[in-house]
Amino acid sequence: MIYTEAKNTHLVLNTGSLQPAHQTLEELEEQLDPDQFFRANRQYIIHINSIERIHNHFHGKLRVVVRNQNQHEILISKEKAPLFKQWLDR
């Protein structure tokens, strides 16, 4: 998972440890494999193997739970939810 907070970009490794990234989410998104990574919203990019659970949320949104990162609530908009499901089903 990759996320931005207070204008800082963080990489979350499989171990749960954080690494700073010196690029923006936009820059990273251009470099990452779209088969492996999905831009969930303005704050998060999710790796396919980091997804633990997906829940339906209010008004057609989805809530994604990521392994080792329970403190992060990742919401996918109603508009992006079909793209996310399509990405998962490949």
pTM: 0.90
Distance, CA of 19 to CA of 10 (rounded, Å): 6
Domain count, the chain: 1
Q: How far is CA 85 from the centre of its chain?
A: 13
- Domain containing 27: what range? 2-89
Joined tokens for residue 6: 């207070």
Q: Is 1 exposed, middle or buried (0-12, 13-18, 19+ CB in 10 A)?
A: buried
Stretch 3-16: mean pLDDT: 90
pLDDT in tens, 35-85: 999 999 999 999 999 999 999 999 999 999 988 776 778 999 999 999 999
